[in-house]
Structure 1
Amino acid sequence: MSIIAPSELILNPDGSIYHINLKPHHVSQNIILVGDQNRVSKVAKHFDTIEFETQKREFKTIIGTLNNKRFTVISTGIGPDNIDIVVNELDALVNIDLKTRTIKKEHTSLNIVRIGTSGSLQIDIPVNSIVLGKYGLGFDGLLHAYDCEQILEKEMEDAFIRHTQYSNRKSRPYIVKNNKELENRLISEKVYTGITATAGGFYGPQGRILRLPIQDPELNTKIDSFVFKGIKITNLEMETSAIYGLSQLLGHKAVSMNAIIANRANLTFSEDPYQAVENLI
């Protein structure tokens, strides 16, 4: 039996896990991830009951019930690095015995749904619409820190690299599929689907130019025009690919849904982005 060292699995003095400040009994099977800590209460206001609230740094959590189902809503902050913290710590809370510091024999699988905001890359996906990512395309490199080859969509990755002439000085883009069971439960006629791209930053990594030139000014145009077996890249944000990748590796189910508040193709921005998010919730 391998014991996980205190330097690797860090706990707070009260026994909660280090960053997200939760204990095992705080984790529901149904997890809602939001980026903005202020969005946690906007989700939780729909609950029938509130059981628990806590916050440490940008990681705010509210636990409650809706229609007799228990939900844990957590803010992740921005970016795949924060997703690495949140998803790993949620998994540790349900699949590692924190007292013995050993992996449990029986695996617990979580349902993880991201409710986020994003920019559309396609002119036919307007602001205020909703996109569900069938795949996550990661430019961030996070997943390459793990043994992940078995879950990657290599044929699609190779096609994307060829199409965009992607620089080999950057981390290799990786592509991971969502959980089809969760997708089927959340899809509707009002929801667009496609590939959700995940960048490691907001400005240069997403093709925005303020004062710094970027490595490939045409990359967004190449991304927009990529099609693989009829599937296009619909939107660009900063979390989905990491959620899909880590969830698959750890044995959890994940789907990412985004309210489109900007359209990069026609340079428009939602006049009421808060209502767009509320509609998604």
Structure 2
Amino acid sequence: MPIKESELILNPDGSVYHLNLKPENVAKTVILVGDQDRVEKVSKRFDSVEFKTQKREFKTHTGAYKGKRISVISTGIGPDNIDIVLNELDALFNIDLKTRKPKETITSLDIVRIGTSGSLQNDIPVDSFVLSTYGLDLNGMLHSYQINAVSNPDIEDAFIKQTHWHINKARPIVIKNSESLEKSLESEGVYKGITATAGGFYGAQGRVLRLPVQDATLNHNMDAFKYNGLRITNLEMETSAIYGLSKLLGHRAVSLNAIIANRANGTFSKNPSQVVENLITFTLTKLVEL
């Protein structure tokens, strides 16, 4: 049965609604960035750029880097935007947009996030890189989907117990990355661990301006969390949503973060732009080797 027009919305030119893309506009290797200005920081390194578009905060450049076709797309901030980007990206490859029917053969994408984040651990300094072995969903967006097959309840239960997670909050969900992509992108000096994904920047991440937070001890308890050698390395707003939706849709995903702040010791990078540039160089070099 065809997917209804109200569920899969297309623009008059046949492109998907938010991303403004047609299937031929996107590569099977996709770099996701939050900031739309970061798209050009990546694509300026391409040998050629074949396609550009932007609608709202969703900006896409597709081109070639050392013979490898790559698309870089800005997602904006937060798991709600990831919900839009991942579903529409998947639709471009795995739904026939003319018949509105899912394809019988699934195309799997390689999805790599280049983000910025704050470290939760004293020994993970500013200006370093973190590769997320797991995404820890604290925001609840993934509960909209049937996630039992891709979640890790043992780690989730340990997190709930050790952090005294409040019963009124959404149950945390832990999602593994793509192990094959991890092996391709790992490197000596790159830290690994669980990346927690919050649904906001201030209260959701324990920042207090004028409003008191529900649990003032949560960040400390997250810092101290341990499970079979795993710990929570950093806190941001996208990774768990990328991991969860990628797993459910059959794509490979890894999240890399430039650490520009250390929440444990209160430090901030002296040159955060350069740290991001360094991570872009690192990522492109690794992707060409895939």
- Could you say which TM-score interval applies, normalised by the shorter chain? over 0.9
Shift of residue 68, structure 1, vs aligned partner: 1.0
Residue 210 (1) aligns with residue 209 (2): yes
5 Å-filtered alignment, 1:176-215, equals: 176-215=175-214
Could you say what secondary structure the match of 1:134 adopts?
strand
- Cα deviation, 1:58-88, whole Å, max 9, x if unaligned, reads 0000000011110010000000000000000
Shift of residue 190, structure 1, vs aligned partner: 1.8
Q: Which amino acid aligns with 1:113?
A: V
- Cα deviation, 1:3-46, whole Å, max 9, x if unaligned, reads 10000000000110000000011121100000000000000111
Q: Distance in 1 between matches of 2:50 and 2:25?
A: 9
Shift of residue 225, structure 1, vs aligned partner: 0.3
5 Å-filtered alignment, 1:78-93, equals: 78-93=77-92
5 Å-filtered alignment, 1:66-85, equals: 66-85=65-84
Could you say what secondary structure the match of 1:227 adopts?
coil
- Cα deviation, 1:145-165, whole Å, max 9, x if unaligned, reads 001101001000000000001
5 Å-filtered alignment, 1:47-126, equals: 47-126=46-125
Residue 280 (1) aligns with residue 279 (2): yes
5 Å-filtered alignment, 1:6-85, equals: 6-85=5-84
Residue 231 (1) aligns with residue 230 (2): yes
Q: Which amino acid aligns with 1:163?
A: Q
Residue 251 (1) aligns with residue 240 (2): no
Gapped runs of 5+ residues in structure 2? 281-290
In the alignment of these two chains, the number of paired residues is 280
Q: Report the equivalent of 1:131.
A: 130
Shift of residue 110, structure 1, vs aligned partner: 0.2
Residue 146 (1) aligns with residue 140 (2): no
- Cα deviation, 1:138-182, whole Å, max 9, x if unaligned, reads 111011000110100100000000000100100011000000000
Could you say what secondary structure the match of 1:185 adopts?
helix
Gapped runs of 5+ residues in structure 1? none
Q: Distance in 2 between matches of 1:168 and 1:181?
A: 36
Q: Which amino acid aligns with 1:260?
A: I
Shift of residue 239, structure 1, vs aligned partner: 0.1
Q: Distance in 1 between matches of 2:189 and 2:68?
A: 25
Could you say what secondary structure the match of 1:84 adopts?
helix
Which segments of structure 1 move beyond 2 Å, counting only runs of 4 or more? none
Shift of residue 242, structure 1, vs aligned partner: 0.2
Could you say what secondary structure the match of 2:12 adopts?
coil
Q: Percent identity?
A: 66
Q: Which amino acid aligns with 1:17?
A: V
Q: Distance in 1 between matches of 2:173 and 2:237?
A: 14
Could you say what secondary structure the match of 1:221 adopts?
helix
Q: Report the equivalent of 1:261.
A: 260
Q: Distance in 2 between matches of 1:165 and 1:140?
A: 16
Q: Which amino acid aligns with 2:137?
A: G
Could you say what secondary structure the match of 2:85 adopts?
helix
Q: Distance in 1 between matches of 2:54 and 2:28?
A: 20
Q: Distance in 1 between matches of 2:5 and 2:126?
A: 46
Q: Report the equivalent of 2:287.
A: none
Shift of residue 236, structure 1, vs aligned partner: 0.2
- Cα deviation, 1:105-128, whole Å, max 9, x if unaligned, reads 111000000000000000000000
Q: Distance in 1 between matches of 2:136 and 2:248?
A: 16
